[in-house]
Amino acid sequence: MNHQGLLARRTRHMGVNAIREILKVVSQPGMISLAGGIPSPESFPMPQIERLCQTVIRKYGCAAFQYDLTEGFAPLRRALAQYLQKKEVAATEAQVLVASGSQSILDALGKVLITRGDRIAVEDPTYLGALQAFTPYEPVYVCLDSDQDGLVPQSLEAALSSQPIKFIYLVPTFQNPTGRTLSLERRRQIAAIVRRHGALLVEDDPYSDLRYSGRPLPPVKSLAPDQVVYVSTLSKVFAPGLRIGFCVAPELIHRWLVVVKQGNDLHTSTFDQALAAEYLTSGELARHVPTIIALYRPRQQAMLGALERYFPKSFSWSRPEGGMFIWAKGPEGMDMEAVYWKAVAQKTAFVPGKFFFARQGAGIETLRLNFTMADESGIEAAVRTLAGVVRAAV
């Protein structure tokens, strides 16, 4: 039977994840990968998880294994409301919605907000997973300019002044893929712009706890509470396999996200939520984040040092104060996918940056380097190998 004709029209826009296709080779033995977008398993608090599992079973018993509210497990929503207060996001327990990873919130936002042809404003480059979540709902992307300090406010102002924009999607802190952070001044300007235009902004914030230097910055949500859906996750500070994401949205959007979630998965795993609740309320999260930072900070320094030592002067790269990625740019027109295949032949992988652009053909000379998965000596070796490949290509 030919199943092609059975597929819904929206599948035409979904496509295969091109990154996944080219990264298939990364798991070959001996490969040093700077391609990953995932936390190091060494960052998972395994002994604490073992203890917390027992606490959850003792404390909640069968309730930890029962169906629960769509909005989320009450003790976790309470704990998240407190956690968010420290980030200057004012939210009551009732305003917090827990989801199965923040990725599922991006999809639910697409379902609730995007009608075919609606314009969605995105940074260029942006988080590929967000494009994957929104694209099946058939939006038209409006690409905003960004530089070292993140989204350029004038670009947002121009976009909002010239056309109706359904929402703006932004990763303001240690962005994936660039590692860039929106400056305080720009946060204020962007908050003022969205307030003035009555626009909706989706602020995706998975990385702000992974800060290795500098001072924390207030989320845009704290500067324009009614205009912002704040989305975050415990994936980078606990364990991504538990799939605990959460958001705080304006009331009407919150209600619709709940309706979508009912149809999607009824609720997020009760046991995982109970575990997360205990992780937060016992103070383990606050104690463990510095351990993760102590693991990643030297890796990032090793990468920055190696780039400085080995890469040609015709390259530039970001120097983020946190997160998981460094973004590099080669000479205009240099094709990083060609470099990728040569580097892979020498057992070193990264992600060509072009995959993160909504605009076709943009960013071919860019690359994303992850520094969480390899240790310092692996990073040093991988950057040296990569530098050899790019030197041969320039």
Q: Which residue is nearest to ligand PLP (CB)?
A: 101
Nearer to ligand PLP, 129 or 216 (CB): 129
Using the 8-state DSSP alphabet, how is residue 5 labeled?
A: G
Query: In whole angstroms, how close is the CB of 80 to ligand PLP at the nearest point?
Result: 13
Query: In whole angstroms, how close is the CB of 342 to ligand PLP at the nearest point?
Result: 27
Binding mask 84-123 for ligand PLP (x = CB under 6 A): -----------------xxx--------------------
Alpha helices in the chain (DSSP H): 18-22, 46-60, 74-86, 102-113, 128-134, 153-162, 184-197, 220-223, 251-265, 270-281, 284-310, 336-345, 376-393
Nearer to ligand PLP, 323 or 330 (CB): 323
Binding of residue 206 to ligand PLP (CB under 6 A): yes
The binder of ligand PLP chosen from 155, 176, 189, 227 (CB under 6 A): 176
Q: Which of residues 237-256 bind ligand PLP (CB under 6 A)?
A: 240, 245
Q: What angle do CA 56, 61, 64 make, to 5 degrees?
A: 65
Using the 8-state DSSP alphabet, how is residue 14 labeled?
A: T
Nearer to ligand PLP, 179 or 330 (CB): 179
Query: In whole angstroms, how close is the CB of 272 to ligand PLP at the nearest point?
Result: 12
Nearer to ligand PLP, 150 or 206 (CB): 206
Cβ 169 vs Cβ 202: under 8 Å: yes
Nearer to ligand PLP, 101 or 150 (CB): 101
Q: How many residues bind ligand PLP (CB under 6 A)?
A: 14
Burial string for 293-313 (b: 16+ CB within 10 Å, else e) reads beebbebbebbbebbeebbee
Cβ 313 vs Cβ 262: under 8 Å: no
Window contacting ligand PLP (CB under 6 A); options: 84-92, 192-200, 233-241, 298-306:
233-241
- Is residue 254 helix, strand or coil? helix
The binder of ligand PLP chosen from 33, 155, 235, 318 (CB under 6 A): 235
Nearer to ligand PLP, 19 or 31 (CB): 19
Question: Is 24 exposed, middle or buried (CB count within 10 Å of its CB: 0-12, 13-18, 19+)?
Answer: exposed
Nearer to ligand PLP, 240 or 330 (CB): 240
Nearer to ligand PLP, 206 or 320 (CB): 206
Question: Is 179 exposed, middle or buried (CB count within 10 Å of its CB: 0-12, 13-18, 19+)?
Answer: buried
Q: Which of residues 117-136 bind ligand PLP (CB under 6 A)?
A: 127, 129
What does each C-alpha distance from 363 to 206, 215, 249, 334, 336 come to in angstroms? Answer: 24, 30, 33, 9, 9
Q: Which residues pair with 33 in a beta bridge?
A: 349
Contact residues for ligand PLP (CB under 6 A)? 37, 101-103, 127, 129, 171, 176, 204, 206, 233, 235, 240, 245
